[in-house]
Amino acid sequence: MAFTFFFRDQQVLERVVEHLLPNLAGRSRPRIWDAGAAMGQEPYTLAIMLAARMGHFAFDNLRIDATDVESTGQFARMIEAGLYPKEELSRLPEGILEKYFEPNGKPGHFRVIESIRRRVVFQRHDLLSFQEIGDGYLLVLCKNVLLHFQPLERIEVLRMFHRALAPGGLFATEQTQDMPSELARLFQRLTPNGQLFRKVEGGGCAS
Ligand SMILES: C[S@@+](CC[C@H](N)C(=O)[O-])C[C@H]1O[C@@H](n2cnc3c(N)ncnc32)[C@H](O)[C@@H]1O
């Protein structure tokens, strides 16, 4: 079972949301790719943070594509159900459990409310296929995944994210993950001490 939890790397996600919100304004069908999303805690956290800051109409047009290599269907089922054990939810920030989860008949569990669940769509995807799931993404989030790859694999995965991003789209990863110097021309760093980047156009042939 992949290690993850709700509101993991909250500071990173706060910065992501802060930079993303202006890009979301006026978009008819904004899309986000959460790559290596595990059992859904991360994409649901992001959806909750965005729901709290966006108007209903704009939020209802948003889609978060949550992908993971897991192949038994277990992650897909968990994300679709949005059902999580109570112990996992004991350290949520104040007010989140009451507002975004509901008891659902399964003892000891809470379910993510439907308006949040509808925004997150799971699909199986292997990042090491180096084939993007689509393009035009306003944000690609890939946390605590790249560290498992070899340096050359990491570079190819980051090139794939660059192709998947819309012009000016954002890429975010965990604090301890560095951008390889080979790709410095593809991504502009947005925060001096964080791993949040904006896609740079025309840098696609950087080696
Ligand atoms: C430690 S979890 C990170 C979950 C979440 N992103 C977070 O930060 O809490 C790593 C996830 O990466 C997924 N993963 C590992 N290799 C992958 C690959 N080649 N393609 C897609 N996902 C992969 C694992 O299945 C696992 O769910």
Q: What's the 68 CA to ligand 1 centre distance in angstroms?
A: 6
Q: Tell which one of 6, 68, 154, 158 to mutate to probe ligand 1, the residue whose CB is within 8 A of the most ligand atoms.
A: 68
10-48: burial string, b at 16+ Cβ within 10 Å, e else: eebbebbbebbeebbeeeeebbbbbbbbbbbbbbbbbbb
Minimum-distance ligand 1 atom for the alpha carbon of 127: 20
Q: What is the pLDDT of residue 203?
A: 58
Side-chain-side CA neighbours of 115 within 13 Å: the count stands at: 15
Per-residue pLDDT band at 192 (split at 50, 70, 90): confident
Q: What is the pLDDT of residue 206?
A: 43
The share of the chain scoring above pLDDT 90, in percent, equals 87
For 92-101, write each residue's pLDDT tens digit: 999 999 999 9
Q: Which of 69, 19, 16, 10 is nearest to 45 (CA)?
A: 10
For 110-125, write each residue's pLDDT tens digit: 999 999 999 999 999 9
Task: Find the residues whose C-beta lies inside 6 A of ligand 1.
Answer: 2-4, 8, 36-38, 42, 68-70, 126-128, 143-145, 148
Per-residue pLDDT band at 1 (split at 50, 70, 90): low
